[in-house]
Structure 1
Amino acid sequence: MDYFKQRRAYRNFKMYEASVSNGQNNLYRELLDYANDEGKLDVQFRMKNSALLSLTGLSEPGLDKARNSLVQLGLIKYVRGKKNVKPPEYRIINLYSRSAGYPTSNPTTSHKSRPTGLDKVGQPVGQGGGQPVEHKELTSTDPDLTDTDSYDDDAGVTREQVINDWTNLWGFPNGVARPEIDEWLEEFKPEVIAYAIWVAGEHQIGSNACLKYVRAIVAGWKKRNITTLEQA
């Protein structure tokens, strides 16, 4: 399973398919990140309740409720553990390989309607700077793995794709945003601006703050003479 494709599919799921509460979102992201860190995106894995409580800030009843909701939403599989014997088991359900009724920000990517078996396990993407937790065996991060190799830029992003990405997240750019986007596209390649938009989307920036947020990203890159996707 590709970590970044899964995150993009999850973002679209929240935008177009179902409402996800903050608690549910925090739990899902911690499970997804842990599975990626440990190379277990395509297999079941165990994780202690105590670790999830610490990472998500949920109460025990809140954890149970959020977990049950994620199962019902079809985002994870869950097998109950035995107290003081073995932790519960989880598995991340692949979202991007299934048919979906929502528009995507990457129309050139082909998707199978349903997976017929396990996808090949991809290389984990380092998360870096994760929230510390006392259970060291439950997290594994590498701050050096901060490149954009797994960013799904399609190597052929167009100006139209940049507008589509923006529209999918926040609606068609208005009369203030569109001129700025055009200015950015005069200075940067479309895949670089698409990446800035993607970063904002991953941080769940709302439509009321998206222009300011992306503007700050682009301004920072200009200040540091960053011009390519690899540098970004």
Structure 2
Amino acid sequence: MRGGKLNYITQIKAFYDKLENDPLNSSAIALWHALMAQNNKTAWSATFTVASSVLKQKSGIKSDSNFFKVRNELAQAGYIKWSPRKGNQAAIYSILNLSPYSGDSSGGNGGDNSRGSSGDNSGALNKLNKTKRNNDDDKGVTNTAEQNTWELWQQLWGFPNAIVQQDLTNWVSEFGSDLVNFAVTIAGSKQIPAKNSVKYVDRVLEGWRELKVTTIEAAKKADVEHQRKMERERKANRPGGYKLPRRIKETLPDWIQDDYEPPKPAKYENKDLPSFDEILKGD
């Protein structure tokens, strides 16, 4: 079993460090992230159970055979442990602590198929440990901040993939977790779909960068001003960008007035027309 509770951010960073020595295919990576998300829901208990159908759905794995293959691959590479239960009960899982600080990055599935990661990887992990040890305190603060942001993101749009994880890390590093969390909250309140979430949050933060926003108070003020601007534009324009037509004052016609007098018909004269007697005489 692993020692102590996992740190979400440290675990994921160590996961990608370990991939350099123990590479996995995309399905195995997706399954590991699905297991991490499930373990997070259990407050990082040492062991937890989850149905295969749930893991298949979250990882995008279609067939049972591929799922079993990928799960064994994770176990043999030293990323997880799992054990079956009788009947149709969900399997028991344990995610191995991959952090180079923990000294517990080895492991497998506990049987002949397990392959410890401490052999070939120990030199790389020790070197990594020496490089990062002096920054443990600062990273602890940063990791906690990033973890809060990741958890907020997960609540709104699901577990962030590797690309989104990098974006979140960069944003927190530049703006701090409070501002990033506020930007994410704004996007969530607008019910921005997951496919547009990164673009929307990035535009919010880009606007704050231009305005030199560095505090929550300034961000709230900028957001209020933005909402007012959007409201003014909505009032001045119809959907699609067309301006509202200019209102024209309607006037009543003359004939409806009380003192209206109809015009007298004009007399029609035409000297060229023959008289009635001339018409009767004919030619």
Larger radius of gyration: 2
Query: Which TM-score applies when normalising by structure 1?
Result: 0.50
Decide which structure has greater helix share.
2
